[in-house]
Amino acid sequence: MGKLIIWNVMSLDGCFEGAAPWDLSMHETVWGPELEQLSSEQLSEAAFILFGRKTYEGMFEYWAKETSEPSEINDGMNNGPKAVVSTTLNSADWTNTRLLRSIEEVAALKAGVGDESIFVFGSANLTSSLRDAELIDEYRICIAPILLGKTGGAAMFKPSNERQRLDLIKAEPLTGGGVLLFYRPAAIAP
């Protein structure tokens, strides 16, 4: 069975975007050669990139037009296999995208990718549902060296989910002051 990996950049106070939807200005504090390399590696390893509807629509809008992003990343986002989980979309028109209607279909997708990985980019609401279904194998979080404070932001992890203990796989500092954290759900003792 494949691995389902959550990937996101978030502020030290737990937000994955600013007060306005798609305010990703905190990414500028951590973007550099290390994250460019990690992004390329993750895209090349991905059996699928999985999105919730809102993230899919935003990513499609950004990546389907000409960007200044490195061509390897641009190509991976535009041409790599993707899936979107939505009960409201009528179609998934971004190149090489599959439309899934339920978390059960995500579980079937995960079971069908062999030893490969599925990466979830953004998608806090989808991440919450995947947590509830116990489908997440790993969390990869880049902590940006910023506190959004009273300017606010959307929380990456929902307080409605159950408490979950994690085991640290590794931590890597970034040149710009951010930190990459890799966690997996803690093994539960019998």
CATH superfamily of this structure's domain 41-137: Dihydrofolate Reductase, subunit A (3.40.430.10)
Neighbours of 28 (CB within 10 A): 11
> In angstroms, rounded to a whole number, what is the distance separating the alpha carbons of residues 7 and 118?
10
- The answer to pTM > 0.85 is yes
What is the torsional sign of CA 94, 99, 102, 108? Answer: negative
How does pLDDT run along the chain (190 residues), one tens digit per residue? Answer: 889 999 999 999 999 999 888 899 999 999 999 999 999 999 999 999 999 999 999 999 988 886 677 688 888 999 999 999 999 999 999 999 999 999 999 999 999 999 999 999 989 999 999 999 999 999 999 999 999 988 888 999 988 889 999 999 999 999 989 999 999 999 864 4
> In angstroms, rounded to a whole number, what is the distance separating the alpha carbons of residues 82 and 32?
25
Query: What H or E segment, with its residue span, contains residue 84?
Result: strand 82-85
- The domain spans of the chain are 41-137, 138-190
